[in-house]
């Protein structure tokens, strides 16, 4: 433990310059202790078959900062929101893929691509891509999954070395700066998959698992929704169904497994879910929980803050100013979902992200002064230098709770 402590203290000096971190060192040592014991109990027994785990163990006392690969998707009229969201989650260590679906016009897509090109920082780090050949995406059809897997495949091919994949839509927004997320995730084993999941289907058995749907988006050029077959089908016997959140934070190794499909399960499930309503609420969940190599890697939380109306409606509540305090307390990384009212986003920008309109969120890589009124990231330095804020402690608390020995194993794939 001594080495870890020393390392953390050294890193803290480099990374942050506020006194709070001194107060929190004790808490973080506990955190490290928890992570290390968790890590060794999780992976020591199967480390021979887990190259990622091995690599991590070797680098263990000196955790490196991770990299994230973001897929940010929107539809017609969303390009403004996508630009703002990109600026709010941008960090030069990460990679980003923007997708405006086929409902958006070519002009809108082109305008988004021009915006990306016009940003000097993005040009320099070459870390943002825009999908040129857009997909038709039907809201509750399997085309959402195929579009997402398309994005993952592009990111695997074009964006090197990322550790986690994060899926965001135009109605999401971050609740903390990237520096905080990079900081906390640097202490985590690289094979944890975050998504809310359960095998208790409840009403979804009759609304989702039994009906058979067809997504006409698979073979039409215009969006026209899904239609239902008269027949119903039975609950699968060769695998167990899981359902959960649409938001996901998934590891690179799991997504390589999905895309390459060296085991047939990813392919079988993809075909099965082709006729499943809202298949994006279940595909990854069922896949992870039915494969022995991955079921021990799930964390039953998607790191999003989501509110539902009572009784539960089809879509989550639009988040507004009145949810602000609760949202910040939660330690969640993103909020889902935000409607047209942008006052809440302005408040998040001002009070949490310290982001000025039209600019990136300042982080350790920005050398300018955020208070000066000028863009602090015009002059930039080493992207490996991060300055976590106080918010990082909330995420730390959330992650500690999720990985607590009482919580972690007992909530996996149940």
Ligand X SMILES: *[C@@H]1O[C@H](CO)[C@@H](O)[C@H](O)[C@H]1NC(C)=O
Binding site for ligand X (CB under 6 A): 46, 144-145, 148, 167-169, 171-172, 246-247, 280, 292, 296, 318, 336, 339-340, 409
Smallest gap from Cβ 115 to ligand X, in A, equals 21
Dist CA 249 CA 255 (whole Å): 11
Smallest gap from Cβ 167 to ligand X, in A, equals 4
Nearer to ligand X, 95 or 169 (CB): 169
- Is residue 284 classed as helix, strand or coil in its secondary structure? helix
Dist CA 393 CA 375 (whole Å): 27
Smallest gap from Cβ 382 to ligand X, in A, equals 30
Nearer to ligand X, 169 or 253 (CB): 169
Nearer to ligand X, 11 or 307 (CB): 307
Smallest gap from Cβ 222 to ligand X, in A, equals 20
**Can you say whether residue 331 is alpha, beta or left, with left for phi > 0 and alpha for psi between -120 and 50 degrees?**
left
C-alpha 157: how far from its chain's center? 19
Q: What is the largest CA-CA distance in the chain?
A: 65
Residue nearest to ligand X (CB): 339
Nearer to ligand X, 42 or 127 (CB): 42
Smallest gap from Cβ 266 to ligand X, in A, equals 15
Nearer to ligand X, 133 or 313 (CB): 313
Q: Which burial class, exposed, middle or buried, applies to 386 when counting CB atoms under 10 A from its CB (0-12, 13-18, 19+)?
A: buried
CA-to-CA separations, 373 to 104, 177, 250, 359, 377, in angstroms, rounded:
34, 19, 37, 11, 12
Smallest gap from Cβ 97 to ligand X, in A, equals 12
CA-to-CA separations, 220 to 188, 225, 226, in angstroms, rounded:
43, 10, 11
Nearer to ligand X, 311 or 373 (CB): 311
Smallest gap from Cβ 325 to ligand X, in A, equals 20
Nearer to ligand X, 5 or 239 (CB): 239
Dist CA 139 CA 78 (whole Å): 15
Query: What does DSSP assign to residue 409?
Result: G
């Amino acid at each position: 433990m001594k080495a870890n402590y020393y390392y953390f203290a050294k890193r803290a000096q480099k990374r942050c310059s506020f006194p709070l971190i001194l107060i929190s060192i004790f808490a973080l040592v506990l955190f490290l202790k928890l992570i290390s014991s968790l890590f060794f109990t999780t992976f020591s027994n199967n480390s021979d078959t887990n190259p990622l785990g091995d690599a991590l163990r070797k680098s263990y006392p000196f955790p490196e900062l991770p990299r994230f690969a973001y897929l940010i998707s929107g539809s017609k009229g969303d390009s403004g929101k996508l630009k703002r969201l990109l600026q709010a989650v941008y960090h030069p260590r990460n990679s980003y893929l923007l997708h405006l679906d086929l409902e958006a016009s070519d002009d809108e897509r082109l305008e988004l691509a021009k915006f990306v090109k016009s940003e000097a920082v993005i040009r320099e780090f070459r870390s943002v891509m825009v999908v040129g050949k857009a997909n038709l995406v039907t809201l509750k059809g399997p085309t959402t999954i195929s579009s997402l897997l398309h994005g993952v495949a592009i990111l695997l091919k074009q964006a090197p070395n990322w550790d986690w994949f994060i899926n965001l839509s135009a109605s999401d927004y971050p609740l903390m700066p990237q520096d905080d997320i990079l900081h906390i995730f640097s202490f985590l084993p690289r094979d944890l998959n975050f998504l809310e999941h359960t095998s208790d289907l409840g009403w979804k058995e009759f609304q989702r698992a039994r009906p058979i749907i067809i997504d006409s988006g698979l073979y039409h050029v215009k969006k026209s929704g899904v239609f239902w077959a008269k027949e119903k089908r039975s609950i699968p016997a060769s695998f167990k169904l899981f359902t959960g959140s649409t938001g996901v934070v998934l590891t690179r190794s799991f997504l390589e497994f999905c895309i390459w499909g060296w085991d047939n399960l990813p392919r079988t499930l993809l075909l099965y879910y082709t006729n499943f309503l809202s298949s994006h609420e279940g595909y990854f969940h069922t896949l992870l929980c039915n494969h022995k190599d991955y079921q021990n890697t799930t964390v039953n939380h998607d790191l999003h803050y989501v509110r539902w109306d009572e009784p539960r409606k089809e879509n989550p509540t639009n988040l507004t100013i009145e949810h602000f305090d609760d949202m910040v307390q939660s330690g969640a990384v993103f909020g889902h979902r935000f409607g047209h009212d942008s006052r809440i986003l302005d408040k998040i920008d001002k009070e949490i992200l310290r982001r000025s309109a039209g600019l990136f969120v300042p982080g350790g890589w920005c050398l300018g002064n955020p208070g000066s009124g000028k863009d602090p990231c015009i002059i930039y330095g080493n992207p490996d230098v991060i300055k976590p804020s106080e918010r990082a402690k909330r995420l730390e608390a959330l992650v500690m709770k999720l990985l607590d020995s009482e919580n972690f194993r007992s909530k996996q794939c149940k």
